[in-house]
Amino acid sequence: MKTDAGAVVGQMAVPMLPNDTAAEVFVKALVVADIVLDKSLPAIVGIGGQDGSYLCEILLQNEYTVHGILRPRTTNDYIPIAVSSVLAAAKKNPNKVILHYGDIMDPYFLLGLFKEHAYDEVYHLAAQSHVGTSFKVQLYTCDVNALGTLRLIQTILTLGLEKKTKFYNACSSEMFGQTKNRYQNESTPLAPVSPYAAAKAFSYWITSSARITHGLFAVNGILFNHESPRRGLDFVTRKITFGVAEIHLGLQSCLHLGNLNARRDWGHARDYMRGVLDMMRQDAPDDYVLATGETRSVRDFVEIAFQIVGMQLQWKGSGNEEIGVDSRTGEVRVRIDPDLYRPAEVSYLRGCAEKAAMCLKWQPQVSFEELVKEMVEADKALIQGEPAKFWVTSKL
């Protein structure tokens, strides 16, 4: 619409000079419309996981419409908290979360979806993400984690979207393996030990290759361990906090764990997803490490989790016979289970995120102690039925 002041696009007036022709006004209006009305269209591959659920919420807070890929479920088991969070976000933001059922193992599904929507941003978070499990299902792990990344990149290239679509690939600090470096950063050599880490290393290099050879805006995020109440129950951190909550509430008596001395750099998943968004907002693609710069042992995690519920552990014995005892009551609260040891263990990881701090202005906000407390308190509330209930597949 044209007025004395100019043209109006949506709710924004377009300034008009006295000698502007109608065509010039129209062009100006198109430019403003592109700025005001056209948001990038993102797709989260693996939206039903811990990271995907937080990234979805962050994008919604930035007023995006979010597309997400969910794997179809074949049982009526409960859906993890992360999926529940996505569904809650979808309910709170009508028509702003669009879910697609599919699998990155199916290239025809990917081609059809990307052809229809031509996404501006693709956040690849889908994976077989359990390191211990990867030793038992090596072929599947590599098919999903390595070739799944290649399928997504090849879909973008096949459809000629490499000049339009930005691609984020979720890598892992496990790729550094049995490193001898005190800190690990973007220049640390990759030395994967587990099948999971080897597959992630492939995904790292194939993403870098696409950036170099095809000009794809392709980013590798090398994220050190990041946890939250939305972490799956088969991960050691969540196993600890859920177990401690059950012990506190009198529902079990003892935790069974594997290697207590493995050291990791643990942060909060929400902080790390903020960093991922920052990576994709840069003018040029690059690779970034996200980490807190602090390393803690599994033993440290256990001790703090018990302290949160008022229990002080005292360690007795050694090796497989070591136990953690409640110093007040003498009850055994932690035992070692040799079956929970991995065939090959990465004993030490500690990240250096100086590049992210300098280029992205990124810093973690949640401390290790705050993270553990949030997880324990959330699991206590979950067991007592206070938070949003689990969703069954019929709700999807």
| From 57, 162, 174, 303, active-site residue | 174
Cβ contact 219:280 at 8 Å? yes
Residue pLDDT tens, the chain, 396 long:
433 334 333 333 334 455 555 545 444 444 433 333 457 999 999 999 999 999 999 999 999 999 999 987 654 444 567 888 888 888 899 999 999 999 999 999 999 999 999 999 999 999 999 999 999 999 999 999 999 999 999 999 999 999 999 999 999 999 999 998 999 999 999 999 999 999 999 999 999 999 999 999 999 999 999 999 999 998 999 999 999 999 999 999 999 999 999 999 999 999 999 999 999 999 999 999 999 999 999 999 999 999 999 999 999 999 999 999 999 999 999 999 999 999 998 999 999 999 999 999 999 999 999 999 999 999 999 999 854 344 333 232
Does the annotation mark 64 as catalytic?
no
> Which amino acid, one-letter code, is at 199?
A
- Bridge partners for 167 per DSSP: 122, 218
Residue 18: predicted pLDDT: 52
CA distance 7 to 33: 11
Residue 21: predicted pLDDT: 56
Domains of the chain as residue ranges with CATH: 232-266+294-350+367-395 (3.90.25.10)
| From 196, 204, 272, 288, active-site residue | 196
Residue 85: predicted pLDDT: 87
Range list of H helices, the chain: 22-37, 50-61, 81-92, 107-117, 131-134, 138-142, 148-158, 195-214, 236-248, 269-280, 298-308, 354-359, 368-383
Does the annotation mark 174 as catalytic?
yes
CA distance 35 to 345: 50
Short-list 69, 73, 70, 44, CA closest to 57: 44
Residue 90: predicted pLDDT: 86
Residue 23: predicted pLDDT: 47
pTM score of the predicted model: 0.87
Residue 81: predicted pLDDT: 79
Residue 36: predicted pLDDT: 36
